[in-house]
Amino acid sequence: MATIRKRGNTYQIRVSAGYDSLYRQVVHTMTWKPKPGMTEKQIENEVNRQAVMFEEQCTRGIVPTNMKFQELAEKWFEEYAVVNLKKSSVQRLRGVTKRIYATFGHLRVDKITRGQIQAFIDDLSRNGKNFLNGKPLYRKTIIHHLNLLSDVFNYAIRLEMIEDNPCRNIFVPKGEKKEKEIYSVEEMKQLFALAEQYGTLDYRAFLTLAVYSGFRSGELMGLEWKDIDWENNVISVRRTANYTATDGTYTDTPKTKNSLRSLKLPNVVFDILRELREEQLERREIFGTKWINSDRIFVNKLGKPLYKGEPYKWQKKLTVEHGMRFCDIHSLRHFNATVLIRSGVDAAAVSSALGHSSISTTTNIYCHAFKEAQARTGEAIAAVLDFTSTKSETEPVIKRTKQAGSERSITPIDNTVKDR
């Protein structure tokens, strides 16, 4: 039942909505202010009517307009995010709630202004908000914060709590751009040489497949032997292996619809995969009933799918022990894309091979590589129309002779004769 409390010239209406999962009482409140000129009787009737309406709203689950941001955000996570987003996306958004709740969690949703949000974003980009090193956050991380704020406010609009999203037209400073670290061709050859001499068969197969396919790490770890078409040298991506701190290792659908793809690869990839397959069959015979039939390509000695971070450990250990520069596992995908672009493969083909949602995603990520490729287009034309080797044969030659007081010129381009 609703309770009414007079506070000065306003009235506070409180409704109990039971208890949450932590057995804390959930109480919704609203404030009603009488209009000037109302009589005491009119005020009494209207405040009671407001109390009844407010109680009905709370009973039907309609969110009151005075809800605090953190309460609404948790409602959004439960009713929307968990149902519609991937676990990895929910985990990433959960990771930014600490800063957001500290700033906006105690504020009413309908009282948060665009200026407050802009000040929050500016603070993330300028001051030491990184919990690990005390430095300003990267622009991508700041955008994750803004995205969560915007999603919650859009949710509030759908619930008719507010009319406008205060995140609209918020400016995110560019900040310091972190360049992608990838191996050069010479370094990649060195890495393959080290892997051949010192790396495990699992890592050599992973490295070969990663560089030649450009598949994401999660896609590689999610590959199964049935995804391989041995006759046509084709490998298909149908799932991904992911990991979150709350769920551990789990299997999920690929990142985008276009990530469901098949790619024809050279024999060198299938040669090492056959070698890995033979080794696993031998291990299955050795361990017998202890062997786990997961069908995954990358497994431990008992057949259990490997932890997604295992390739990172392989590569880190190999490069550090032999004094080579270390680039993370995702850099292998960047190396693949960069080589394709510099080799003249068009953007549509590169985008399809990488499984991007659109060609614009590819051109935005690898903008620098595409610019380098475009810069060489003039050189390509010059190579085709190379006049230097036959300059004496093709260079226009003007021969002049004087006849009857006039000068005649003959050009081999159009063979016309003109009097000057």
* Domain layout of the chain by residue ranges: 3-60, 69-158, 185-372, 391-420
Q: pLDDT for 47-83, tens place per residue?
A: 999 888 888 877 766 556 678 999 999 999 998 998 8
Res. 390 pLDDT band, cuts 50 70 90: low
Q: Would you state the pLDDT for residue 303? A: 94
For the domain made up of 69-158, give the CATH fold.
Answer: DNA polymerase; domain 1 (1.10.150)
Residue 175, pLDDT > 70, answer: no
Residue 394, pLDDT > 80, answer: no
Residue 26, pLDDT > 80, answer: no
Closest CA to 88 of 220, 255, 328: 255
Q: Would you state the pLDDT for residue 56? A: 80
Percent of the chain with pLDDT over 90: 55
Q: Would you state the pLDDT for residue 412? A: 41
Res. 128 pLDDT band, cuts 50 70 90: low
The encoded tokens of residue 343 equal 């080799």
**Taking a C-beta distance cutoff of 8 angstroms, is the pair 188, 112 a contact?**
no
Q: Would you state the pLDDT for residue 405? A: 45
Higher pLDDT, 289 or 59: 289
- Cα separation, 374 vs 412, in Å, equals 35
Q: Would you state the pLDDT for residue 63? A: 58
Res. 343 pLDDT band, cuts 50 70 90: confident
Q: Which listed CATH number (1.10.10.350, 1.10.10.10, 1.10.443.10, 3.40.190.10) goes with 185-372?
A: 1.10.443.10
Q: Would you state the pLDDT for residue 415? A: 41
Residue 392, pLDDT > 70, answer: no
Whole-structure pTM value: 0.69
Task: Say whether 185-372 and 69-158 share the same fold.
Answer: no
- Cα separation, 393 vs 387, in Å, equals 9
Q: Average the pLDDT over 87-106 and give the result.
A: 92
Of 64-68, 79-83, 94-98, 258-262, the range with the lowest mean pLDDT is 64-68
Q: Average the pLDDT over 121-147 and give the result.
A: 84
Of 195-209, 228-242, 295-309, 370-384, the range with the lowest mean pLDDT is 370-384
Q: Would you state the pLDDT for residue 17? A: 74
Q: Would you state the pLDDT for residue 286? A: 94
Residue 177, pLDDT > 70, answer: no
Q: Would you state the pLDDT for residue 16? A: 83
Q: Would you state the pLDDT for residue 159? A: 82
What is the residue whose two structure tokens read 């590589």? Answer: 369
Q: Average the pLDDT over 194-205 and give the result.
A: 95
